[in-house]
Structure 1
Amino acid sequence: MTQRIAVIGAGVLGLSVARMLALQGAQVTLFEKGTPGAGTSQISFAWVNANGKSPESYHRLNAAGIEAHKRLQRLSDAPAPWLLETGTWEWAAAPAVRAQLEKRLATLTTLGYPWQAVTRDALLKQFPELRLDSRIQQGWFFPSECLLYPALLIGWLQAQLRGLGATLVTQKEVLTLDETPEGVTLELSSGERWLGDRAILAAGRWSAELLTQLGLDLAMTDASRPDKVACSFLAVTDPLPIQINSNIISPELNVRPDGGGRLMLQALDLDEYADPARPASTEGMIGQEFLRRLRRLFIQTEGARIAQIAVGQRARPADGLPAVGYVSRHQRAYLLVSHSGMTLAPLLGELVAHEVLTGERPEMLADFAPQRLLTAFTGKSEGLAPAYLPAAQ
């Protein structure tokens, strides 16, 4: 019998798992309270990598995620490729930071993650407009890493879902979620009701709010408040005459191409000022600091302007690791939330669809069951079996 499956949330994770379910014959309905990709997916540095991610199981999941992206794009025949297989260039000036980087490189070597040392001359050849601190005599290149254009991936995934006959419901919020032994009932803000076999909760930073419908508290970083762990400034420039086709991680500034000569900028030490409720002005302190750092990094930036500064709000479980698996007594409600959604989307789409449709838990997901992050509160908690209800810590 064909399974009727709801996917709640049309970011890159929800779209990816919906596509894989539909490919394998499920009757899929995808619910999105706004427009696809309008949450975390559209405001992201979108660096596809496994660099410095721990523990080892998380590193290996992300490394497999890179390969899943490459494999999917090769098979996609997409008219506008979303993945840039450019690698990442990194260097450090301060001795303490360099020591941390070299320690990370040693760990990556044991994990078989590719990297290579590069000379100062190689950095200047790769980036002709670079102003390189005289202390920098060496850098490092990570050839397997990629950059992503999220909007192009989101567009391709939607086209795939239309071709597969899936239903996409937008501008309607899921207000209630109920599970019985027979299936799942969703009630929408429009007053409509959906009945089916299973629901996959891929609502990103709204996952904790959705899980209250099952009587559960999910430990997540609150991305609606100022928090440098959960929020990050992303600045985009006007077009510039700078020849960059790959990712740069430099001491003051992370830089990536954003199309049409525009650059996307990130400075993690500025994130302590990031507040979703108070947008930063392009002409204010944050905007001017981005420009100062950009001009220190590149020539030909005297006339640079910041076109936009957004605050990216990360969908980050409290311990930084993905939460993937069933969260309800009758295994009708399945949670899918991860900070590394850009890197992991195609891979998690495959793994989650496999578990939901076959009942077999992939080994790669063994360390990421959501129960470590769940506690019950009074309300509907009596509907949960002990296996899905960990003791409060």
Structure 2
Amino acid sequence: MTQRIAVVGAGVLGLSVARMLALRGEEVTLFDKGAPGAGTSQISFAWVNANGKSPDSYHHLNAAGIDAHKRLQRQSGASAPWLLETGTWEWVADSAIRTQLEARLAKLTALGYPWQAVTRETLLTHFPELRLDSRIQQGWFFPSECLLYPSLLIGWLQTQIRRFGGKIIAQTEIVTLSERPDGVELELANGERWQGDKVILATGRWSAELLTQLGLTLSMTDANRPNKVACSFLAYTDPLPIQINSNIISPELNVRPEGGGRLMLQALDLDEYADPARPVSTEGFIGQTFLRRLRRLFSHAESARIARIEVGQRSRPSDGLPALGYVSERQRVYLMASHSGMTLAPLLGELVAEEVITGERSAMLADFAPQRLLTPFTGKSGGFTPAYLPAAQ
């Protein structure tokens, strides 16, 4: 029997699961308080990878996410591909960091994750404008990894949802969420109400706010405050005559192509200064630090300009792992929250849609039930243990 399902949040996770539900014949309405993809999904380094992600179950989930992206793009027939299957190049200069990298490589080998060592000459050949520190005689290449153009994926997913009969209602905030014996009800800011069978919350860093409507507290890293775990500077350059077609992880700077000769830059050590409430100037300390590092890394960057600097705010559960599963006693409200949304979106779209439609939960989601992050229910219910978690003894 067809279900009436609301998805709240039109980032890459919400769009992906809404597409799969509509594709499988469910009556889907996707709500967002802004424009689709305008939140966390649009301000992201968008590196699709499973590199250094622990525990093993999280690594395997992300590795499967890479495969799901590639499979979806092959099947999509999209006129503007969103996925760049370019791999990632990495090198280090500090001996202590190299020791950490070698430990990571050993673990990746045990997990079957592909990588290969490359020579200094290979790096200089692949990146002709590269200025490489004389200490660096070796690098590493991770061939399975990809980069994503979020806007192209967001556009394709919206078109797909509408093609399969789904509805997208943007610029409409949900003000109340309630679960009843016979269904779920949403009250919209404009006074209208939506009633149906189930609700999927894909609201990212706003998830905790909505779950208070169910009397729940969700443990999330607060991305609205200065926090280098949840916030990161992303600097965007004007077009440059630098030949880059893949992701670079270097000692001072992470660099990726952003189209038309533009580059996106990230420097994780600067993130301690990132504050969403305090925009930084391209001419100030942060902007000029990005420029100095870029000019040290590449020739042809003498006239480079930083066009803008954004603060990316991650949707990050407090323990760093995804929260995926039902959060309500009657199993009508489902939560999707993960800071690896760019990597996981197509895969989680498939797995969550399958669980919501059939009740069958994938073994890949076994370690990611959200109850570990929720305070116990209060009142008459005495707590909620979903079927896929063992009851307390």
Query: TM-score with structure 1 length normalisation?
Result: 0.97
Note if contact 1:42-1:151 (Cα within 8 Å) is conserved in structure 2: yes
Q: Which amino acid in structure 1 is aligned with residue 148 of structure 2?
A: L
Q: Which residue of 1 aligns with 2:354?
A: 354
Aligned pair count reads 389
Note the residue ranges of structure 1 that are not aligned, 5 or more in a row. Answer: none
**1:382 Cα deviation after fit:** 4.0
CA deviation profile, 1:29-71 (whole Å, cap 9, x unmatched): 0000000001000000000000000000000000000000000
Note if contact 2:377-2:383 (Cα within 8 Å) is conserved in structure 1: no
| Pairing of 1:138-217 with structure 2 (within 5 A) | 138-217=138-217
Query: What is the DSSP-based 3-state SS (H/G/I as helix, E as strand, rest coil) of the residue aligned with 1:168?
Result: strand
Matched, 1:319 2:319: yes
Distance 1:384 1:346 in 2: 36
Note the residue ranges of structure 2 that are not aligned, 5 or more in a row. Answer: none
Runs of 4+ in structure 1 over 6 Å off: none
Q: Which residue of 2 aligns with 1:329?
A: 329
Q: 1:147 to 1:304 in 2, by over 3 A?
A: same
Distance 1:192 1:259 in 2: 41
Q: Which residue of 2 aligns with 1:305?
A: 305
CA deviation profile, 1:12-37 (whole Å, cap 9, x unmatched): 00000000011111000000000000
Query: What is the DSSP-based 3-state SS (H/G/I as helix, E as strand, rest coil) of the residue aligned with 1:218?
Result: coil
Distance 1:76 1:128 in 2: 34
Q: Which residue of 1 aligns with 2:385?
A: 387
| Pairing of 1:60-209 with structure 2 (within 5 A) | 60-209=60-209
Query: What is the DSSP-based 3-state SS (H/G/I as helix, E as strand, rest coil) of the residue aligned with 2:385?
Result: helix
RMSD: 1.3
Q: Which residue of 1 aligns with 2:11?
A: 11
CA deviation profile, 1:264-288 (whole Å, cap 9, x unmatched): 0000000000000001111110000
Note if contact 1:329-1:384 (Cα within 8 Å) is conserved in structure 2: no
Distance 2:282 2:81 in 1: 30
Q: Which amino acid in structure 2 is aligned with residue 119 of structure 1?
A: T
Distance 2:16 2:125 in 1: 38
Query: TM-score with structure 2 length normalisation?
Result: 0.97
Identity of matched residues, %: 79
Q: Which amino acid in structure 1 is aligned with residue 40 of structure 2?
A: T
**1:180 Cα deviation after fit:** 1.2
Q: Which amino acid in structure 2 is aligned with residue 181 of structure 1?
A: P
Note if contact 2:88-2:249 (Cα within 8 Å) is conserved in structure 1: yes
Distance 1:192 1:355 in 2: 29
Q: Which residue of 2 aligns with 1:256?
A: 256
Query: What is the DSSP-based 3-state SS (H/G/I as helix, E as strand, rest coil) of the residue aligned with 1:179?
Result: strand
CA deviation profile, 1:243-269 (whole Å, cap 9, x unmatched): 000000000000000000000000000
Note if contact 1:282-1:309 (Cα within 8 Å) is conserved in structure 2: yes
Distance 2:307 2:231 in 1: 20
Distance 2:150 2:390 in 1: 35
**1:386 Cα deviation after fit:** 3.1
Distance 1:23 1:160 in 2: 8
**1:145 Cα deviation after fit:** 0.1
Distance 1:305 1:230 in 2: 26
Note if contact 2:377-2:384 (Cα within 8 Å) is conserved in structure 1: no
Note if contact 1:328-1:385 (Cα within 8 Å) is conserved in structure 2: no
Note if contact 1:371-1:390 (Cα within 8 Å) is conserved in structure 2: no
Q: 1:390 to 1:43 in 2, by over 3 A?
A: farther
Query: What is the DSSP-based 3-state SS (H/G/I as helix, E as strand, rest coil) of the residue aligned with 2:161?
Result: helix
